[in-house]
Structure 1
Amino acid sequence: MNRFLPLIGAILLTTPAQADSIVRDGDHIAIVGNTFADQLRNHGYMETLLQQHADISLRNLGWAGDTLTQRDRPTNFPTEETTLTEQKTDVIIACFGMGEAFAGEQGVAAFKNNLKAFIASHKAKKYNGQSSARLVIVSPIAYEDHGLTTPNAAARDKDLAAYTAAAKETASAVGVPFIDLYTPTRAMMDKSGSKKYTTNGIHLTPLGYWAVSHILAGKLVEGAAEPWGLTIDAQAKTSTADGVKLSAIKAEKKNLSFSVTETTAASPPPPTNGKTPAHFAKQRDTLTIKNLSPGEYTLTIDGVDISTADHVEWAQGVTIDSSPAHKEAQNFREEVKDKNLQFLYNWKALNQVHIVGERKRSPSGKALPAEQIEFNNLAIQKEKILRQPREVKTREWKLTSHGL
């Protein structure tokens, strides 16, 4: 679905969601699992991509160190079933296998049995009060070799491949969608050169979460990870575009101007000021201008300088990450992260001693339940804003030659 809605008169027009998407409009989604799942909340890229393309509610219940059978929680902490019911959960995205893989090859059979039991326990429940929960099983990522700090990297990676295969087999046998993150992250790491996407072989960096979130979001919602692709022939004044609509192409001497209607959201820019590896080009919004006269050109959008490159670079395609639309996408991601923080303060209060411990009867302990309710209210209010349809915008792009 396209969450950016054109305003015609006083009517907002919507585009129906893709029927074959795993996630559907109106879904209440819960993420459960290990550190990978937990940190999706802190980075916000995946949820931003999903929210830009589908009308969803998402709560992250990930917990560092969780496995299918080990869920250490403070005394009297709400059960997972209670929270899933409170959130009226339709879809559970489960991220397991990384911790379990430390058991090696001999632990694969137990992992399959535990995953089968996990799926069965949730499929029997109607957390939304109407229909059985829909599950999505997500594999662990590949193991990244950091040299001396990651001994036995090859053996660890082999285990993760085996647990990924086991998860796929188990999910497929019961008709549950499966998302393989191992294979694309293995390819990503193999092409990285000196660039690293994890801090220690298994925990992703911000750039790693940006890249993996595109993979995951694209599997959950059709088109959620599709970048803008704008191509213009400066001589013929012809164009093609993905994600936007081009119109009013005009050439004056060496200058080129055109209107861009943003029919889909701009992709959140990667968390780096430097160059990202070339294999990420397909995940980034790009403008290509062919048949320009030789020289250097600056792109402006609504009068604001965005990027400068020569005619050869424009013909090869220039990444556009700092347009007004991209700044809006980045601001939207910050709002997603803030919503997640408010929910975290409600669901997983940082100081449990005030809830179940010796300070429970202190003034601060007595005040905490009311504060938790208020944090939940804040999360709900912020999500309502995130879920509001946004009006399509048309901006004026201009390529100006430095030779004039």
Structure 2
Amino acid sequence: MKHLSPVFVSLILAFTCLYTTPAQTAPFQDGETVVFLGDSITHGRQYHSFIYDYYLTRYPDRKIHFVNAGISGDSAGGAMRRLEDDVISKSPTTVVVMLGMNDVGRSNYVADPTEKQLEAQAGSLERYEANMDALLDRISKETEAKFILLTPTPFDQTAEIERENQPGCNDGLAKCAELVRKLATKYDAQVIDLHGPMTSFNLEQQKDDPTYTIVGFDRVHPGIPGNVMMAWLFLKGQDAPATVSHIEFDAEANKFPGTKNASVSNLQITEDSRTFSVEEDALPWPIHAEGSELLTKLPIIEDLNQQIIQIKNLKSGNYTLTIDGETAATHSAEEWAEGINLATIPTTPQSIQATEVAKINEKRRSAETRLRGYACVRWFLGRYIDPDDFEAINEFMKSKEGETGYYLSKVPTYLAEWENRGEVEAMVLKLEKDAQEAAKPVPRIYKLTKSQN
């Protein structure tokens, strides 16, 4: 995969800044409830969970509640029917909205569109603007929430893959992005642009590998790398801080002239070692292993994951740092003086702790996705019958015997599990608390020793 040039990365960041509005540009605060309203990319994907990983580990003293309000197949118009249950009843402080993939009318984008198809494309965009306007208007009137509007992720119309293509669809989504920015002005909302940077990144990668896609091999749903990029863009849009912690130690003076997000104590000195206790305010952001391919392509570590220890004025030679008795890193005196980013070392106790937090959070996300599966079925059945009338549902399913489809396939699970949904809801809340508890930093013992040659 191609390594992006510094110039191209700068262009991506400039593009992001250009199309990220400054309204409410700040990280979420303690006590917030953040609802992510969207379609299948919110319902079943991980970008919001990766963002939550960041908040759990960077702000372990904050209790922030994330709510998945995605529905597979939904649109701006369809979301209006479920606002009470999925958004308003949650008393959100912030609503993050990403819709458009099912609004743009993908089937009308073909290599040589007819006049009728071109009219349908234009009509879809008109309805998208009107429905998004109505959606935001109702939320603004019935809650006190701020808005963060995400431009829709791209449809990959350029990857040379076997999946059926809809040429021009991504251009339609670019127009949806323009409409999102227009509506943001009306509702004093922050816009975070996903569409522009992800499209640019995709095109740059495809210069060397025409089969590459940041979106996904169905051209619609981003995989893990795409979701990591989405989380990075979101957090950058919030001006989320890069620093996990920064510790500076002067080995000649045996002093700590500067620390940030950490406290240091109990310095013990021997002829060939320095031992001290460190208690940090945060953990490194645990980035999913399948997203690691992006770490050499985009400045994700530089922007969001800086856990620096800088040791100056060491005598010439190599030195090994252990943390809680485990080897963390060995570097020359010159390298320690420059500073070492511990967040890039997966075997430190802090990285291991952060990874455990992410595992708990993934269990939380998975359980919440079960709840979204129930909501998805209710959204589908609500078009035809009362989703609380199981007798009517069974009759409806009999009438559909022999038919297949995503929503119909989910109805039996809904019938079997809906009455016990409270157990899943309780599981989500317990896992949220477990993740918050697991994210609390603990004191660590650092020991720096001169290596034996």
User: Out of 423, 436, 439, which is 1:374 matched to?
Assistant: 423
| Paired residues of 1:141 and 1:185 also in contact (CA < 8 A) | yes
The RMSD of aligned alpha carbons is 4.3
1:29 maps to a residue whose letter is V
Whole-angstrom CA distance in 1 between matches of 2:270 and 2:252? 11
Does residue 210 (structure 1) correspond to residue 235 (structure 2)? The answer is: no
Rounded to whole Å, the distance in 2 between the matches of 1:154 and 1:373 is 44
Q: Percent identity?
A: 17
> Is residue 304 of structure 1 aligned with residue 326 of structure 2?
yes
In structure 1, which of residues 331, 334, 340 is the aligned counterpart of residue 365 of structure 2?
340
1:120 aligned to which of 101, 116, 137: 137
Aligned residue-pair number: 374
Per the TM alignment, residue 93 of structure 1 is displaced from its structure 2 partner at its CA by 1.3
> What does residue 135 of structure 1 align with?
147
Report whether the alignment pairs 1:284 with 2:305: yes
Match of 2:445 in 1: 396
Q: What's the secondary structure of 1:79's corresponding residue?
A: helix
SS, match of residue 66 in structure 1: coil
Are residues 40 and 308 of structure 1, via their aligned partners in 2, closer, same or farther at CA, if it must alter by over 3 Å?
farther
Alignment TM-score, normalising by the size of structure 2: 0.66
What displacement does 1:303 show? 0.6
Structure-2 change in CA distance of 1:165 and 1:244 (3 Å): farther
CA distance in 2, matches of 1:299, 1:37: 41
User: How do 1:189-228 residues align onto structure 2 when only pairs under 5 Å count?
Assistant: 189=202, 197-200=214-217, 202-217=220-235, 219-220=237-238, 223=240, 226-228=243-245
Distance verdict in 2 for CA 1:114–1:44, change over 3 Å: same
**CA shift at 1:198, angstroms?**
3.5
Residue 323, structure 1, aligned to residue 345, structure 2 = no
Q: Classify the secondary structure of the residue corresponding to 1:299.
A: strand
Give CA deviations for 1:196-220 in whole Å, capped at 9, x if unaligned: 6433355333233234223324545
Answer whether contact 1:260 1:395 (CA < 8 A) is retained.
yes
Q: Distance in 2 between matches of 1:306 and 1:191?
A: 36
1:171 pairs, out of 157, 160, 184, with 184
Structure 1 residues 115 and 368: CA distance shift in structure 2, 3 A: closer
Q: State the TM-score, normalizing by the size of structure 1.
A: 0.73
Residue by residue, what CA displacement relative to the aligned partner does 1:273-314 show, whole Å, maximum 9, x if unpaired? Answer: 966316233133343545555544433211112234455654
| Structure 1: gaps of 5 or more residues | 1-18, 73-77, 127-131
1:42 & 1:213 partners in 2: Cα distance? Answer: 5
Instruction: Flag the structure with higher helix content.
Output: 2
Provide Cα deviations, 1:313-371, integer angstroms capped at 9, x if missing partner.
Answer: 543644234322222222222222222333333452399699533599xx998863432
CA distance in 2, matches of 1:382, 1:80: 25
Pairwise CA distance, 1:167: 0.7
User: Which entry has the higher C-alpha Rg, 1 or 2?
Assistant: 2
State the partner residue of 1:34: 39
Question: Partner letter of residue 33 of structure 2?
Answer: H
Are the counterparts in 2 of residues 231 and 240 from structure 1 also a CA contact under 8 Å? Answer: yes
